[in-house]
Amino acid sequence: MEQSRETHIPTVPARPQPQTWFPFAHEHQSRSSNPGTPPRQGPCPVVCLNEMDITPSTVKRLKIRREFLFVAKGRKAVRAGVVVQTRRRDGSLHCGAGFTATKKVGNAVIRNRAKRRLREAVRLLLPLHGRPGFDYVFIARAATPDLDWRLLFDDVKKALVSLSPSGDMPTTAR
C-alpha cells in the first residue's frame, strides 16, 4: 500500500479573487500632480484629549537625601492617604517631586505599590496644582496601597491645593 504522490485538484473552479492592484493610484485626490515634495511635510502636531495628559518637562525628580531633608523643613499637609511636604527652592522655575514610604507601610512590594500610585497621582495633578520653584515630597501612609483610587487622588489634590497659598513658613495645613 503505497501512498500516492499526486495532489488532489478539485473540479469546482475557485471563487473569483479581487484585483490586487489599484487601477488609478496615481490620481489620489490629496496628492498634488507635482512630483516634488509631498504635501504636509514636517512634524506632526501635538494633539491632547484633555488637559491632564499634558505633563510639562519642568517636573524634576528629587533623589538625593539632602533634597528630602531640605523639603522636610518646609510646610506640610497631612491627609488620610498621603503626607505632602513642600518648600520653596531658590532660583529654579521647575517643580521637584520626591516619593518615599517607610517600613510602617508594609514590605517592599507594598511600599513600591504605594509609591507607584503616588507617582501616577502626582503625574496628573502636579502640573495643574504645583507651583514652579517649589519642591514637593509625597510620603505614603499605611492606607495608601489599599485606598480607593478616587480617594487617594482627592487626598493628593486637596493637599496640593492647601499648600498653594504663598508663604514658606513651616506650618501644618489640615
All structural domains of the chain: 57-164 (3.30.230.10)
For 136, the 3-state DSSP assignment is strand
- φ, ψ (nearest 5 deg) of residue 87: -160, 140
pLDDT digits 0-9 by tens, 12-56:
767 776 666 655 555 555 555 565 555 555 555 544 444 444 444
Average pLDDT estimate for 73-88: 95
Q: Which residues pair with 138 in a beta bridge?
A: 84, 99
Q: What is the band of 2 on the pLDDT scale with cuts at 50, 70, 90?
A: low
- How many residues are present in the chain? 174
Q: What is the band of 87 on the pLDDT scale with cuts at 50, 70, 90?
A: very high
**Cβ(111)–Cβ(59) below 8 Å:** no
Amino acid letter, residue 3: Q
